[in-house]
């Protein structure tokens, strides 16, 4: 009997390793949706596609008193409303700014509480982070968000399960500005967005540099008027996600 112990132990070890590997793959598989090149084919519903004559304008990582008010003024000047994906930890620092967003007619959505990649967090920690962010945003702004976007656009199986439980709809983007980098300029942000801009798309920008290169938000702000003009020149309306997805186009 003792002669079997070694082979059995090795077999159990291999089996356990394979099971752990399978769980890791299942946990991480949704993260492929973060890749711009494959998302339209793998998970088109996550791109935020909506009505073909409309573009959803979204901002991540705020609110931030050092930068967000500049975006509010520019959007108000243009008569545009947008969707702001808020971080709970940023809102706690300035609840009044969150209420200003709502009072100005903008839509509030959930970006989580902390800005940490979900791949390095357990399903329980992911669920707690999303729920905490949702609770803080709901309590401090007096609104109940319906959209969720994960940090870095990286989803996991745990995040999808938590969003479903919390009645949040995950949404990423179809065009972005790469506006978080130190080398971003108003011209580069404008070119990068418009390269992929199309009716029915969702644009990702950032109204703060709290998780980006210092001062990068200024490039986003500088590009914003031109982006608005580019949409209008193509006959596209700009607005929040709540105006973007009719019953006929909403699929998630």
What are the residue numbers of the active site?
60, 206
Rg (CA), the chain: 20
Strand runs labelled E in the chain:
54-60, 83-86, 107-110, 147-148, 169-170, 175-176, 202-206, 237-239
C-alpha–C-alpha distance, residues 222 and 68, integer Å: 13
Which residues neighbour 46 within 8 Å (Cβ) at sequence distance 6 or greater?
A: 33, 39, 155, 170, 171, 172, 252
Which residues neighbour 93 within 8 Å (Cβ) at sequence distance 6 or greater?
A: 65
CB-based contact 167:131 (threshold 8 Å): no
User: In whole angstroms, what separates CA 13 from the centre of its chain?
Assistant: 39
Burial of 106 (0-12, 13-18, 19+ CB in 10 A): buried
Burial of 3 (0-12, 13-18, 19+ CB in 10 A): exposed
């Amino acid at each position: 009997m003792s002669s079997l112990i070694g082979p059995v132990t090795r077999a159990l070890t291999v089996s356990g390793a394979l099971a752990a590997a399978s769980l890791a793959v299942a946990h991480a598989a949704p993260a492929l949706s973060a890749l711009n090149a494959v998302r339209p084919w793998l998970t088109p519903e996550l791109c935020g596609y909506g009505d073909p004559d409309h573009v959803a304008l979204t901002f991540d990582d705020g609110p931030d008193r050092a930068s967000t008010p500049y975006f509010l003024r520019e959007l108000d000047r243009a008569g545009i409303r947008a969707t702001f994906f808020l971080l709970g930890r940023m809102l706690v620092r300035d609840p009044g700014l969150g209420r200003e967003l709502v009072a100005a007619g903008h839509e509030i959505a959930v970006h989580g509480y902390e800005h940490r990649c979900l791949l390095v967090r357990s399903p329980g920690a992911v669920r707690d982070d999303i729920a905490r962010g949702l609770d803080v945003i709901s309590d401090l702004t007096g609104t109940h968000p319906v959209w969720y976007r994960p940090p870095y656009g990286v989803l996991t199986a745990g995040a999808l399960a938590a969003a479903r439980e919390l009645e949040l709809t995950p949404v990423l983007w179809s065009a972005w500005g790469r506006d978080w980098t130190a080398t971003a300029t108003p011209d580069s942000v404008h070119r990068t967005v418009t390269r992929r801009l199309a009716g029915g798309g969702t644009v990702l920008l950032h109204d703060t540099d709290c998780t980006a290169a210092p001062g990068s938000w200024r490039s986003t702000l500088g590009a914003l008027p031109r982006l608005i003009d580019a949409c209008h020149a193509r006959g596209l309306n700009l607005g929040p996600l709540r105006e973007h997805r009719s019953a006929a186009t909403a699929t998630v």
